[in-house]
Amino acid sequence: GAVVSQHPSWVICKSGTSVKIECRSLDFQATTMFWYRQFPKQSLMLMATSNEGSKATYEQGVEKDKFLINHASLTLSTLTVTSAHPEDSSFYICSARTSGRAFYEQYFGPGTRLTVT
């Protein structure tokens, strides 16, 4: 149980284009989803928190107009990187949290490797 998927697993795009990453909870309903970014040899950096049906809450320093997050249903959240630049190249990981008995536990997706050329 508690499986989270991400799509795509890797993507290469040209500078100036937009890329959408999907995060799905496959066997539970996720009231809250989180988006992280991870640089090589570093720990996870939280970008934003999204609750189903609400606007996402972004961490300090994260551009909300550049990283658009939509949590349209209890099983799907999307992250769109708009007007991507090479410095946006990174490993993006989502996590999901249920409203059930294991309320505080976050389950992570496999991650998406974004390369901007």
Partner 1 sequence: EDQVTQSPEALRLQEGESSSLNCSYTVSGLRGLFWYRQDPGKGPEFLFTLYSAGEEKEKERLKATLTKKESFLHITAPKPEDSATYLCAVLSADSWGKLQFGAGTQVVVTP
Selected range binding partner 1 among 11-19, 60-68, 77-85, 107-115, rule: CB under 8 A: 107-115
Of 1-20, binders to partner 1 (CB under 8 A) are 2, 4, 6
Of 26-85, binders to partner 1 (CB under 8 A) are 32, 34, 42-44, 46, 49, 57
Taking the CA atoms of 59, 92, 79 and 28 in sequence, report the sign of the dihedral they define: negative
Q: Among residues 81 and 107, whose Cβ is nearest to partner 1?
A: 107
Q: Which of 25, 37, 109, 114 binds partner 1 (CB under 8 A)?
A: 109
Cis peptide before 8 (omega within 30 of 0): yes
First to last CA, the chain: 37
Smallest gap from Cβ 16 to partner 1, in A, equals 27
Question: Does residue 95 sit in helix, strand or coil?
Answer: strand
**Residues 4, 96: Cα–Cα separation, whole Å:** 7
Choose among 73, 77, 65: nearest CA to 35: 77
Residues that bind partner 1 (CB under 8 A): 2, 4, 6, 32, 34, 42-44, 46, 49, 57, 91, 93, 95, 97, 102, 104-111, 113
